Amino acid sequence: MKSNLAVIWRQSVGSFMQSIRSALMIGLVLAISSPAVAGGLAGANNDIAAGNYDKAFFKLQPLAKNGDTDAQFTIGVLYERGLGTEQNFVSAAEWYKKAADAGDARAQYNLALFYNKGSGVSADIHTALDLFRKSAEQGLPEAQFQLGIMYQEGRATLQDFVQAVKWFQRAADRGNAFAQLNLGLYYSRGLGVSQDEVYAVKWYRKAADQGVALAEFNLGQQYTSGKGLPKDDVQAVAWFARAAAQGLSVAQNELGRRYESGTGIAKDDEKAVELYRKAAEQGLAMSEANLALHYFSGQGVTKDDVLALSWLKKAADQGLAQAQAELGLRYITGVDIPKDNEQAEVWLRKASDQGLAMAQYNLGLMYFQGDGLAKDEVKAKELWQKASAQDYVDATRALAEADAKNSARK
C-alpha cells in the first residue's frame, strides 16, 4: 500500500514553518544588539532573556518611534506573540511594515507570512511574494525556502521548478533543513534538475542529520531500494525507526511492516501491531488496514473481528482501494464477518473504479456467476479485460476459459 508522500510533505512543511518562524523571531529578538545601541536596546534584550517582556516593550517604544529597525521588528514580534502587551496582529503588521520598508529582512519575511495567510492585513499573495523575494535576496534562508515554495506551487507567479530549485539550493546551502529535504525530493524525481539519486541521498542525509523526520524516512527508502547508495535493510530500519520515533505515521507503518516480515530486523508481530496502531490513530489508511488484518488473524494481538472490521472500514472509507477490496472479499466469503453480497458489490465496485485489478477480477466473478448480482457475462468480461491488461493472471485465465466455453457451445 503506497502513501501520498507529496501530501505528507506539504503538511510537514506547514507545521515546520510555524515552529521555524517562532524560533526565528525569538532567536533574532535575543540577538539584536550592537555597539551603537548598547543602551536601551541591550537592556530590552536582557529583559526579554529574563522573560520581562513588559519592561522590554516599554524600553523599545522610544527606539522604535525614532526609526530603529531592530526595535520596530522586535515590537512587531511582541505584538504578534502577545508578550508584554496584548496580542494584536494589526499592530504587529504595522511595526513589521515600518522595519520592512527600511529594508529589514526579518521584518520582510514575517510580514510576508502575514500577507500570505491574512493575519493583521488583508491576504495578498502578490505582496507576500514580493516581500519573500526582498528578504530572500538579502540572504534570509527561511525566506529563500518560502520563495522556492511559491515557485513550486505557482502562487502569485508561474510554476517554475527551476526557480524553485534555485531558491531551495540557496536556503539549503545556508543550512535550512526543509530546503535540503526538498532538494533531495527534486533530485530524486528530476524536477528542475537532472535526476540524480546520489545527490538526492546527499541532501536527504543533511536534512536527516538535522532531525527532519520525512528526510529520515526518505533516506530509509533509499537504503531499501538501493538508489544512490548500496541497498542495506539494516540501515533502512535504523532510519525508519528514527522517523517513527518522531511520530511520522508513514515511518511507523513501514517499520511495522519490517517487524511483521522480519526484514532488516528480528520478526516481532507485537511490535508490528504497536506501530500500526500508532500510525492508525493518526488516521493513516494503510496502517488502519494493516491493523485490521492483524485483528482478523490474531497475529501479535488477541483476535477481535469487531475491531478488525471497524479498522478496515475506516481505511476503506478513506478511499484505500486495497482496504475496499479486502472488505468486499470478506463480505463475499463471509470470512470473519457476516456474508453480505450487497456490501461486497459496493466495496468491490469502489476499488474497481480506482483501477485495482484484484477488485475488477472479483467483481467480474460476481457478474459471471450471478452471485449477488444479475448474471451478466458481458460486464464480467469487460472487468476481466481491465484486470488482464494489468497482467492479473486470474483475470487472463478467466477470459480464456469463458471464451473456450463460448466456442464449445457454438
Cβ partners under 8 Å of residue 310, min gap 6:
292
Domains 1-159 and 333-410 share a fold: yes
What pTM, to 2 d.p., does this model score? Answer: 0.86
Q: For the segment 59-80, what is each residue's pLDDT rounded down to a tens digit?
A: 999 999 999 999 999 999 999 9
pLDDT at 24: 37
Rounded to 5 degrees, what angle do the CA atoms 362, 364, 367 make?
115
pLDDT at 372: 86
Distance CA 95, CA 75 (A): 7
- As separate numbers, helices (DSSP H) first and strands (DSSP E) second, the chain gives 22, 0
Structural domain boundaries of the chain? 1-159, 333-410
The residue with cell 490513530 is 281
- Give the pLDDT of the chain (410 residues) as one tens digit per residue: 322 222 222 222 333 333 333 333 333 333 343 333 445 789 999 999 999 999 999 999 999 999 999 999 999 999 999 999 999 999 999 999 999 999 999 999 999 999 999 999 999 999 999 999 999 999 999 999 999 999 999 999 999 999 999 999 999 999 999 999 999 999 999 999 999 999 999 999 999 999 999 999 999 999 999 999 999 999 999 999 999 999 999 999 999 999 999 999 999 999 999 999 999 999 999 999 999 999 999 999 999 999 999 999 999 999 999 999 999 999 999 999 999 999 999 999 999 999 999 999 999 999 999 988 999 999 999 999 999 999 999 999 999 999 888 877 76
Q: What are the φ/ψ torsions at residue 24 (nearest 5 degrees)?
A: -60, -50
Cβ partners under 8 Å of residue 320, min gap 6:
1, 285, 286, 288, 289
- The answer to whether residues 66 and 74 touch, using CB atoms and an 8 Å cutoff, is no
The CATH fold of domain 1-159: 1.25.40
Rounded to 5 degrees, what angle do the CA atoms 364, 323, 290 make?
140
- Separation in Å, CA 320 to CA 313, 348, 364: 10, 12, 20
CATH number of 333-410: 1.25.40
